[in-house]
Amino acid sequence: MWGKAAPSEKVTVAFAGQEKSTTAGENGLWQLTLDPLTASKTPQPFVVSGENTITLKDVLVGEVWLCSGQSNMEWSVAKSANPLEEKAAANFPEIRHFKVPRTASAFARADTKAGWQVCSPETAGGFTAVGYAFARDLFRELDVPIGLLNSTWGGTAIEPWLSPESIASSPDLTELQNKLFSLSSHSPEGKKLHAKYLAALKKWTIEAEAALANDESLTEPPTAPWQLADNPQATQLYKGMIHPLAPFALRGAIWYQGESNGKESSTAYLGKLKALIGGWRTLWTQGDFPFYIVQLSNFGPNSPSWTGVREAQLQALSIPNTGLAVTTDIGDSKDIHPKNKQDVGKRLALWALAGPYGKDITPSGPLYKSHRVEDGKIRVSFEHAKSGLMIGKKEGLAPVAPDPASKLLWIEIAGEDRIFKPAVAVIEGADLVISSPEVPAPAAARYAYCQDPAGANLYNKEGLPASPFRTDLW
């Protein structure tokens, strides 16, 4: 628990049978930690007292998840599939939603102006649809309150969500660090920019005071150096929309972003994703809390774009305590905002249930593990496929159905000439055996490795989709 008071003021927090006190520092900031609490769906009063008293009457104890990214995480229940039915059935007062206002800041904010909403048919339409579906599945399985911190901004790249410290410490982000340094007051060019700005600001202030005295209109103030680049620029959403949320205790985070970085290579985006996760975990000082990523859906023309970001999202599983929700079977070729957010949230929830909540379930569809060439064919093995692979069919919000009469789509094979040809794949338990009469000496195989693999249909027997993959490093 933390807040602000008068310097040296004694502050007491009373909640759930506990009472803890501390003294605010000279800057008025205070913080204390309650003993571990048992999850409770019963509203309890939360009282903070000092020179004045603040009482909150409807406080629950449960699991809190941070939901962040760009528009597909921001996308509301009201804009998603079956909005009327979803809103009408949203009678979950134990689910709470906190929407962080859009705030781009050049300076790390300590606070944000927002409040918790109780989930109901009247309010759920404005919730993050992915987050709501995620929370609903968790609540049904765990029967404990779920809180969602919705910190999202449509159309944003990953760079504004990075912390300055993570950029500075990442060898993969030297160019970005140099750019930020050049705009700071610590660099020679940055000092010149700031000095020029201060001189212009002083001149404007004098003119503005004179205009006010003479009942004249004010002119536009000079632009600050940190506003010269694209807005929001690197670190500005971290400072304005993530930093204020800490140290609010989290169970973990779910992240849906990448479209705005879609043309980047896997190496470039993976470096930024590592910095993002590391920076947020450092901010919260809770260790390697769970961080689950939504892989980009299928969309748009059939070109190599987005393949790099998807691959980076898959490679991010090398980071401790991460997970990946594959969505290339539920996208929309004509809409960058696919309406089926229910399955996205459900697939993220599987990772959480199998992770911190310890459920004995398969959290993911098949993920490429290894391959070998044998007798003119390529045998591919997968993680999360112990029950076996299958060709499936996904229609709307219905569960995936086995579709053994169909052939596997979007499977390709190439020889040393690196020319990929359509291939045939045979399922042998948990392996995929790939071949083509046009490629007698195969060297590499790929699956759904394109911008829009519409109809991608490789699943495990649990009905979870395989991630796009390639066996080559070409």
Class of the CATH domain delimited by 62-163+235-354: alpha beta
Q: For the chain, percent helix, then strand, then coil, each to nearest 5?
A: 30, 25, 45
Evaluate if residue 165 carries a pLDDT over 60: yes
Evaluate if residue 226 carries a pLDDT over 90: no
**For residue 51, which amino acid is it?**
E
Higher pLDDT, 395 or 231: 395
Q: pLDDT class for 228, splitting at 50, 70, 90?
A: low
Note the pLDDT tens digit of each residue in 96-151: 999 999 999 999 999 999 999 999 999 999 999 999 999 999 999 999 999 999 99
Tell me if residue 445 falls in helix, strand or coil. Answer: strand
378 close to 435: Cβ distance less than 8 angstroms? yes
Evaluate if residue 191 carries a pLDDT over 60: yes
pLDDT of residue 385: 97
- For the chain, the C-alpha Rg in angstroms (whole number) is 26
pLDDT of residue 160: 96
433 close to 425: Cβ distance less than 8 angstroms? yes
Q: What is the mean pLDDT of residues 303-320?
A: 96
Q: pLDDT class for 231, splitting at 50, 70, 90?
A: low
127 close to 86: Cβ distance less than 8 angstroms? no
Q: pLDDT class for 229, splitting at 50, 70, 90?
A: low
Average model confidence (pLDDT) across the chain: 96
348 close to 338: Cβ distance less than 8 angstroms? no
Evaluate if residue 361 carries a pLDDT over 70: yes
Q: Residue ranges per domain, the chain? A: 2-60, 62-163+235-354, 176-227, 367-470
* Spatial separation of the C-alpha atoms in residues 398 and 141, rounded to whole Å: 20
pLDDT of residue 372: 97
pTM for this entry: 0.95
Note the pLDDT tens digit of each residue in 196-220: 999 999 999 999 999 999 999 999 9
pLDDT of residue 303: 83
Note the pLDDT tens digit of each residue in 57-95: 999 999 999 999 999 999 999 999 999 999 999 999 999
pLDDT of residue 221: 93
pLDDT above 90 as % of the chain: 94
61 close to 16: Cβ distance less than 8 angstroms? yes
